[in-house]
Chains A and B, each alone.
Chain A
Amino acid sequence: MVGGVSPFLKQPKHECLEMKAPLRAKAFREFSAGVALAVLMTLGAPTYAATPADTLVEGFAIDDLITLDPAEAFEFSAAEFIANSYNKLVNLDLQDTSKIVGELADSWTVSDDSLTYTFKLKPGLQFASGNPITAADVAYSFERVVKLDKSPGFLITQFGITGDNVAEKAKALDPLTFQLTVDKAYAPSFVLNVLTSMTASVVDKELVLQHVKPVTPSDEFKYDNDFGNEWLKSAYAGSGPFKLIVWKANEALVLERNDNATIHQAALKRIIYRHMKESAGQRLALENGDIDIARNLEPGDVDAIAAKEGYTVTSAPKGTLYLLGLNQKNQYLAKPQVRQAIKYLIDYDAIASTLIKGIGQVHQTFLPSGQLGALEDKPFSLNVDKAKALLAEAGLPDGFAVTLDVRNTQPVSGIAESLQQTFAQAGIKLELIVGDGKQVLTKCRARQHDMCFSNWGSDYFDPNSNAETFTVNTDNSDASKNKTLAWRNSWDPGELNGVTHAALQEKDTAKRTAMYQDLERKVLDTGPYAFIYQQIEVAGYSSKVKNFRLGPSFDTNYVFPISKD
């Protein structure tokens, strides 16, 4: 491959050694001799930087990685690791992510009352350890998630499964039959979508049981062992195409091909994720051949890589939306015409072509592209006259003053400045309150903001994840127990509460899709959210790398199909 080798490699390596000694002082001569020696030492070994042919090296900011245990992990990089090293009963169909396909499960049936799901496992499956995969492993995996009840525990417990009833609700009927019983007649597409998340990954029961640690039961945790959580935090008990070799926090995550894999086979022998935080550094390392894929490139570096021969850039929209939350406690924002006017005062085109170029795409509905029912409608564009007319209709022809809380990071703070400009054109004086991420979040969660620049990522790949926060608020009082995004913006969705609930239980997937689309249109029109963009994940990679693609979620960023020339 021509493009990957730098022409500088071919230069003689000792050119710059012609050290002159202009200063007569002996001391200085000794000193420069030392420098020369040091330079010589560094020059000694030529370095032909290239990653091994059987190994894929990715530069990736993996400092969010805190645990590798599928029952505990809820981070982006963990999702990618688990997706490539564990298997689930079912998975998203990558050709059409609104569909579900079996992974460990050969087939499944849903009872007529929509309460019981029976999965038939494929025969002859095995874990990396060589242990066979049975329904008992599946049941144990569910038991761990429910009883450990870590951050992602709610994914399974939301089906009414608790530590007390899990033995009955998630059980093995025979070695190849697993049965899951949920508490309400949910839409089957909802239940199955949730089961595609990394939390539903199946762990090797026999292997994990060898590593459980006894604990003293307490009010907090009433079980006598830790279900191997402490061990599995930094270990591996799966069946996916790759197995874990070593994880050094903030340094590297090294995977090796699992030769016992039965579902998917990996093409390469090793995958190494190197922790690299800095975009420019990733670009340098990519161009120098020390990494094959750069995962955290900023717009400028993306452009440079895209323009360079021998390198390619790819991207995929991910489930995170960026929006302005408009607090209905503010007398101006409470007016529907004002909310609409604000949506007309965002310069979506300018933002798309500069600030979020390569990292985001304009999106105006509350379901991210790729999810079941997601609408691509974009009725709003910058229209100052229309906004002025709407403001006049609301009795505010001269505009008003309002504050916006925003994080001190790009691109959001840049977008906020753009908003300041366009809002001013209609007489709205926007005061920016810039703060640290957690600081902004703390304030907006307590709904003490006027406007808040928020982002929201779906917890699982089903429309209910976003719907239950954007269109549900059953108690708008300050003492509410369920502080959804609708609550945070003091918005009472009224009848939408009921529609969201009904959509969750709609058996017919086509009807369910239509219900969400209807919800999206209503929120688009009057909701207290001005959606601006959906995050895009972008990666630059060497053309040596084949079959690399980013999935619609971090759960679907697969590395096993990747090969190298």
Chain B
Amino acid sequence: MTAIEASKLARRRRIRGLALTFGRFAIMLATTFLGLLAVTFFIGRVVPIDPVLAIVGDRAPAAVVERVREQMGFNLPLWQQFFIYLRQALTGDFGVSVLTTNPVFDDILRVFPATLELATVGTLIGAGLGVPLGVIAAVRRGSFADQIVRIVGLIGYSVPIFWLGLLSLLLFYARLKWVAYPGRLDVAYEYTFTPITGLYLFDAAWTRQWDILWDAFRHIILPGSLLGYFSLAYISRMTRSFMLNELGQEYIVAARAKGLSERRIVWFHALRNAAVPLVTVIALSYAGLLEGSVLTETVFSWPGIGLYITNSLQNADMNAVLGGTIVIGTVFIAINMFSDLLYRLLDPRTRMR
């Protein structure tokens, strides 16, 4: 076998490997989606709520109720309804929201940026503080600092966010007046500022409206910190345990023997190895925040997707609920994909396979 043939073969194998990976990935994606669609569909049909009633209202005459039922295809067999639903979902047509009378897709485009912005700030705070705290707790295991981090984490886990939200409003907004409330902007900007992407911090910076940027910051910082605190609790715990695992490895002993500084060992060698599983943890917590935290959004009057879906659920607006669920599912899958990609960058071994 010549060298050229060998390299050709290797390339072909690589391409086939890549195709296989993609194929496997596509199948995984398709089944995940199908599962998501099936579950949401059947939940939508099983709930003891008449969706027609939600549309025509309580006072509609019987004839109208019957006509709408016919129109919506509720008289068809269930499997047929499912295929119609599948076709609609695949073409991005989630139907019209009963509650808002807008296409569900437009509604979600409107509410999602608010949640995206809040979740991003929350995750930045959570990861930015949670990882160093976790590292410190691991390095000084059993110390006073470790105990503090543990207690902080425990509180973050166990205190209801609703209560903490109100309490922090009372302290930082009502008493100290450090932050602004309610909503995303002060009333003074409410009628002068036209958002572009819906991410107010970004929009304000982009259009160089620094006063609006500042105002948006003052509005987002408290709910963002609150969400950040909750993801911090989780991230710092996970960082600690990953780091403990790494610090017990032989390569750490080797690095110490080589005479590397403790700081370099911890923050460069150990953390880099712990970073791989940590990426998944952070990505999952980010995805969790993107689902919209209903309670935080309620307390802070934040017009995000969590409020939208809860509101729709309470009003039996199934199109909106299903559309919202699918969008969130998609985001979840996308973030998982992204963290897989990060894996490959962080861990050379995954690149070889």
Contact = CB atoms under 8 A, between A and B. Distances in A.
Interface in A418-467: 435-439, 441-443, 445, 459
A180 to B, nearest CB: 23
Given A52-B188, A252-B190, A445-B53, A285 B181 contact: yes
Nearest to A276: B301
B332 interface: no
Contacts of A106: none
A12 to B, nearest CB: 12
B292 interface: no
B177 A42 contact: no
Interface stretch (A243-251, A308-316, A532-540): A243-251
A277 B191 contact: no
B299 interface: yes
A224 to B, nearest CB: 21
Contact of B190 (A66, A272, A280, A442): A272
A8 B174 CA distance: 9
Interface residues of B, number: 60
A67 B111 CA distance: 17
B263 to A, nearest CB: 7
Contact of A281 (B129, B133, B179, B301): B301
A51 B186 CA distance: 10
Contacts of B169: 281, 284
Nearest to A277: B298
Interface stretch (A20-28, A89-97, A338-346, A395-403): A20-28
A251 B303 contact: yes
A246 B187 CA distance: 12
B261 to A, nearest CB: 11
Given A284-B174, A288-B174, A482 B61 contact: yes
A482 B303 CA distance: 39
Contact of A288 (B166, B177, B300, B315): B177
Contact of A436 (B57, B173, B218, B314): B314
B21 to A, nearest CB: 39
Contacts of A45: 214, 218
B269 to A, nearest CB: 15
Interface in A246-291: 246, 248-252, 254, 256, 270, 272, 274-278, 280-281, 284-285, 287-288, 290-291
A507 interface: no
B53 A442 contact: yes
Contact of A66 (B101, B179, B182): B101
State which size class the interface on A falls in. 35 or more
Given A233-B101, A249-B100, A442 B307 contact: no
B333 interface: no
Nearest to B67: A220
Contacts of A43: 178
Q: Among the interface residues B47, B191, B263, which one has the most CB atoms of the partner chain A within 10 A?
A: B191
A441 B53 CA distance: 9
Interface stretch (A55-63, A129-137, A166-174): A55-63
Contacts of B99: 66
Contact of B180 (A47, A55, A233, A252): A47
B62 interface: yes
B184 interface: yes
A442 B49 contact: yes
B311 interface: yes
A246 B140 contact: no
B59 A459 contact: yes
B210 to A, nearest CB: 11
A307 interface: no
B267 interface: yes
B181 A281 contact: yes
Interface in A139-166: 151, 154
A31 interface: yes
B221 A42 contact: yes
B347 interface: no
A43 B99 CA distance: 41
A27 B63 CA distance: 72
Contacts of B276: none
A67 B101 CA distance: 8
Contacts of B179: 42
B183 interface: yes
B176 interface: yes
Nearest to B54: A438
Interface in A203-261: 233, 245-246, 248-252, 254, 256
Interface string A28-58: 1001000000000011011101011001010
A427 B340 CA distance: 65
Given A52-B188, A275-B303, A151 B57 contact: yes
Given A31-B132, A278-B298, A250 B111 contact: yes
B58 A250 contact: no
A47 B219 CA distance: 12
B59 A55 contact: no
B307 A250 contact: yes
A481 interface: yes
A67 B98 CA distance: 12
Nearest to A435: B48
A274 B267 CA distance: 47
Interface in B43-75: 47-50, 53-54, 57-59, 61-63
Contacts of B184: 251
Interface string B204-228: 0000000000100010010000000
Interface string A70-100: 0000000000000000000000000000000
Given A233-B101, A246-B191, A284-B174, A251 B62 contact: no
B136 interface: yes
B136 A249 contact: no
Q: Among the interface residues A9, A31, A251, A284, which one has the most CB atoms of the partner chain B within 10 A?
A: A251
Nearest to B51: A438
Contacts of A483: 62
Contacts of B221: 42
Nearest to A469: B59
A481 B64 CA distance: 10
A274 B316 contact: no
A274 B132 contact: no
B242 to A, nearest CB: 17
Nearest to A42: B178
19 contacts: A6-B174, A26-B263, A28-B136, A63-B307, A251-B184, A252-B187, A270-B191, A274-B182, A275-B183, A275-B303, A277-B307, A285-B181, A290-B180, A290-B182, A291-B182, A438-B53, A438-B316, A439-B48, A481-B62
| Nearest 8 interchain pairs by C-beta | A250-B303, A438-B316, A438-B49, A276-B301, A442-B50, A254-B191, A251-B303, A42-B178
Given A254-B190, A277-B298, A278-B301, 12 more contacts: A9-B177, A151-B57, A248-B303, A252-B190, A254-B191, A281-B166, A284-B173, A284-B174, A290-B181, A438-B53, A439-B47, A442-B50
Interface of A: 6, 8-9, 23, 25-28, 31, 42-43, 45-47, 49, 51-52, 55, 57, 59, 63, 66-67, 151, 154, 233, 245-246, 248-252, 254, 256, 270, 272, 274-278, 280-281, 284-285, 287-288, 290-291, 435-439, 441-443, 445, 459, 480-483
